[in-house]
A and B are shown apart, each in its own frame.
Chain A
Amino acid sequence: MSDKSTEVNFEFRQRLNKIIGGNHHNFCYQCGACVSLCPTAKYSTEFNPRTIMLMALLGLEDKLIAPDSIIWKCTNCYTCYERCPQDVRPVDVITALKNICVAEDRAPDIITRYSAGILDTGVSTPLSVAIAKRREKFGLPKFNITGYDEMKIILDREDSK
């Protein structure tokens, strides 16, 4: 029998498949085109989108979903998506993996902190008194968030965690 470490974790892959963009990891044939112009791969010897796709294919949950997972160093620049001949969309697979990290409460704090701002106010940047004054000085219209109530309603769903 083979070594345990080579067994594929299909359960994890099935979980990944269900997330938007996650199923595209199945198309990867490990050619490495995604690495060629990946900016993070240029600046970090640890980061390699091809290896991340391989880890997804093997279902290496412990590494991919670890609190210090390498996936958070992706710049989201979409160069891998542009290069991939198989439509794997590696950046989207990485985003799907990030969604699992968040669901498992293993994401960097900044993700929840930043998202909470949007969920609480409807905008990603708070409207400060200083900015309101500056807008007035520049002759800009008052900034109002009027879509917040509707946003709250559409985010309420039966299947949410």
Chain B
Amino acid sequence: MTQIVPFWGCMIPLRYPHIEMAIRKTLANLQMELVEDLPFTCCPDPIYFKARDQFDWLVIAARNLALAEERNLPLLTVCSGCTSTLKEARFLLNEDENLKDRVNTQLKKINREYKGTVNVEHAVVYLRDVLGYDAIQDSIQKRIENLRVAIHYGCHLLKPSQIMHVDDADYPQLLSDLVKMTGAIPVTHEEQLLCCGKGCIDDLIPYEMTSDIFDSVKEAKADCLGLICPTCFSSFDLGQKIIERKLNKKHEIPVIYYFQLLGLAQGLSPEEVGLDQHKIPMKGILD
């Protein structure tokens, strides 16, 4: 058994618990032991809360990092927002001694310290770099046949590459490789690197972006859209209902979080990975 500390964040456990269910079941099939008694809070979010006050944002992130550091275990994120906050906080603190001292002055009040030794990775990166593709292969029970999965990377898994160190930010390979492991066919498309738009405060722009991504997915003749971030998931699943209303366009493209896809390939049923919880149903696509 490999021990890791999952950082669940807020959105998956409190809005999309079916995704948490899928992640837990697939990680168990990969013989991973979750260490879960750490008193985390929100990462906190890298857009709105960071816009409010970056020092507060950094102090809270540093506390979360320090908790995992105390156990000397890697921190596994499942949301690109949490990944962005925790990895960028680590980068900023390691880059600037003075800033680190100011942050540690705050952490001292609760007898904690951020040292800078903790490793943080999104779960999909952990699959590739630590667990390895052979271990994933060994967990596959029932390869998914004839399913074309369009790739959506989202922004915060890859960029900025000087902080994330995950893949080539212009020509990434990671998600295609991971989809291939399940038997499904990874489909790259014109807008696979376009932002889901969630961070933009505007009535229309985010939905125009998302809608263009769906057009690109349809153009590439994919059956569904595969992704790894709950914010992107919200933009694309619930987002399709909003696009219908705001832009008068109906796309009907189901969305799947990578660990749900992996779960199916490990032999779990669509309900066991929570596919029945989506606004845009997968029904008829999986037989």
Q: Which residues from chain A sit less than 8 Å from chain B, CB to CB?
A: 19-21, 39-40, 43-44, 72-79, 81-82, 89, 95-96, 98-99, 101-102, 107-108, 110-112, 114-115, 118, 122-128, 131, 134-135, 138-141, 143, 145-148, 150-151, 153-157
- B1 interface residue (CB < 8 Å to A): no
A134 CB contacts on chain B under 8 angstroms: 17-18
| A/B interface sample: 18 pairs, CB < 8 A | A19-B54, A43-B205, A72-B202, A73-B200, A81-B159, A81-B160, A99-B52, A102-B51, A108-B201, A114-B45, A114-B48, A115-B48, A124-B10, A138-B21, A138-B274, A139-B21, A151-B63, A154-B107
Binds A, one of B33-41, B141-149, B214-222, B238-246: B33-41
**A98→B51 contact, CB < 8 A:** yes
Q: How many residues of B contact A (CB 8 A)?
A: 60
Annotate B196-216 by CB proximity to A: 1 below 8 A, 0 otherwise.
Answer: 011111100110110000000
A89 CB contacts on chain B under 8 angstroms: 160
Closest chain A CB from B6 CB (angstroms): 11
Q: Which 5 pairs, one residue from A and one from B, show the smallest C-beta to C-beta distance?
A: A78-B159, A147-B39, A146-B39, A76-B199, A98-B51
**A125→B39 contact, CB < 8 A:** no
State A143–B39 Cα separation when bound (angstroms): 11
- B133 interface residue (CB < 8 Å to A): no
Interface centre among A81, A110, A124, A140 (most CB of B within 10 A): A124
B residues 96-117 near A (Cβ < 8 Å) are 99, 106-107, 109-110, 112
Q: Give the contacting residue for B41; candidates A19, A39, A138, A147; CB below 8 A.
A: A147
B202 CB contacts on chain A under 8 angstroms: 44, 72-73
State A147–B245 Cα separation when bound (angstroms): 40
**A145→B41 contact, CB < 8 A:** yes
- B76 interface residue (CB < 8 Å to A): no
- B13 interface residue (CB < 8 Å to A): yes
Q: Which residue of B lies closest to A96 (CB)?
A: B54
Q: Give the contacting residue for A78; candidates B52, B155, B205; CB below 8 A.
A: B155
